[in-house]
Structure 1
Amino acid sequence: MNTPAPAPNPCGPALAQWLARGPLPDGALVAVAYSAGADSTALLLAAHDRWPDSVTALHVHHGLQAAADRFEATARSVCDGLGIPLRVAHVRAAPAPGQSPEDAARTHRYAALADLAQAAGARIVLLAQHADDQAETVLLALSRGAGLPGLAAMPERFQRHGMGFGRPLLDVPASALREWVQGSALAFVDDPSNTDTRFTRNRIRAQLVPAWQTCFPGFRPMLARSARHAAQAQGLLDDLARIDLAAVGDPPAIAALQALGRERQANVLRHWLRAQWGVLPSEAQMSQLLDQVAACRTRGHRIELKVADGTLRREGACLAFSRPPQAASI
């Protein structure tokens, strides 16, 4: 009796399509963010198949749960068996005041991955986020009343901490990845925190996604398409903001802003604050700022508005953003 051929890794075609949209330089070392879960295991194997001698695995140990040691042990075992170099970072992702544990873990994880990749000489870090993750991100953005940047969800390529990151699996469903890994001989770990419904994303996964699937079977590609449309629209708004910023100046001149319509004022000011200062005003803050700009018709008119960790003020004929000096360390 002939033994059936093993099913192909679904990450292989997805990786090829992602590369077709943006090839990597010849001979570039590729890093894979490897948690030892099913998704990153499938991606690591696909990358290793494509670049047998040019792949390294990166594992971040957050120390946030007892299972973290088991994740690292599994990652070491799998990489040793495959002959894939593994670099590990241990971080303590304690949230800052007002920051959620999820945001803190994500911030520390990307910084650690960038550091590990740079130390290895890698040109890009591949992430195993998939179609289900993308759909959950869109639903989370909708629940928060996000604008186009939020609705655009996760880009397939981006830069952070001086390192390139790529997501080649955004069109691959989680079920296909898990089914393939379960049919392979490779060990992987299920993250117990994925079922903890104290986290908003997990509630979406456990409660909202099944309801959407019942009402709209096959909805994931549709949400991914909406995310792409939002990203395209945001790209056009960014182009317009750069044109308008060149006209109003940096820092923006108040009289030049007043010559623009209210929507274009909001667009260019969001772009300026995000690009120059890394902050994004809320809808209420932007509405207050636009009202103050509209009312600023006399030399002595004052503008002052708190945004994130800084303050927007009028300085002469322009707007200026400033942060308070850091308290001296003791």
Structure 2
Amino acid sequence: MKFSVKSFFSKLWQKIRNFNIQDCRVSFVKGMESLQANGKSLFVTVILAIAVMLLTCLAVFFATVRGPEKVLVPEVEGKELAQALLEMQVKELYPKIQLRYDEQPSGTILAQSPSSGAIVKAGTRVNLTVSRGAIVSEVGNYVGLKFDDVKIDLTTMFTGSSRPLILLAEPVYKASLEEAGTILEQDPPSGTKISDPVTVNLIVSRGPNFDNTSVPRLTGKSVNEILALLPNLKVVLDFTGHKAAEGEKENSVVAQQQFENQYVENYTRMSVEMAFPAKPKDDLIYGIFEAELAQFPYPVAMTVECIESNGQRSQLAALNHTGGHFSVPYAVSEGSELILRVAGKVAKRITVNE
């Protein structure tokens, strides 16, 4: 087949003549529209995929962090500790244990918080008070001990206990050569086993108060002389005072109670009247320190301390006293503080002013 240049160009020209520019334009437009339509679909698909992924993540997150379920607190009070722990474990509750001496058997639940029936979240701590058992199992031997010391020891021992296992009845006092306040007998005896709270009856010495003492002669004596005599006196002096009248000696005892006999029973009360200066004398203020105390069945050691305004301390008086109305005279500088101590404990304090 021979190639003809003329024939080639003739066919090319024929094709050019047959080319429709409008059809080309339409095809281009359709292609662009198809591309745009496909792009929107792709964009929408991507957005939907991202949304689904976010929703899935949120669902997983909230499913993971959702709060624990609510549970009912069981009643464990009165039960053994082991049983209580098992019941709490089922409810996914965690115990916080406090131990306390009590007459209930060791390991018994005495109290719980929150109380039974409360609705709480799983994992909540429940406070449990658990018995350590009785602090003592038998009555001790108190004969020969001081009643006050035994009373304090038992009170301290059972502090915080719902029911003390050992109670002291009001003691019976009797005269004895033993020092006042010493326990002479007890019932029940030492070694008695304790199953329930027991009351101990005691017989306590009053001291040798069956002895008599001579009535002191105090008329004419000054405040300082009286205070110096107090430690050795076995009578209880009830002091009153007034401003010295004309003819009366200032700072002295002007009258004292009289008795039929020269001797009286130990710690018999005796009234004493004193005359004080009408005004402070030698920068000293005169008066009577008074207090109302419990009535003691035997004499108790008491002191009056003086703290001057400059901080200097001194003991103003020391004596044995059976309680009730208490009084001692004083002559101290203005602003001094007087402190009454009964068996070493502060019972009253005053500040002296003119």
Q: Which one has a larger percent strand, Structure 1 or Structure 2?
A: 2
TM-score range, shorter chain: under 0.3
Larger radius of gyration: 2
The alignment's TM-score, normalised by the length of structure 2, stands at 0.22
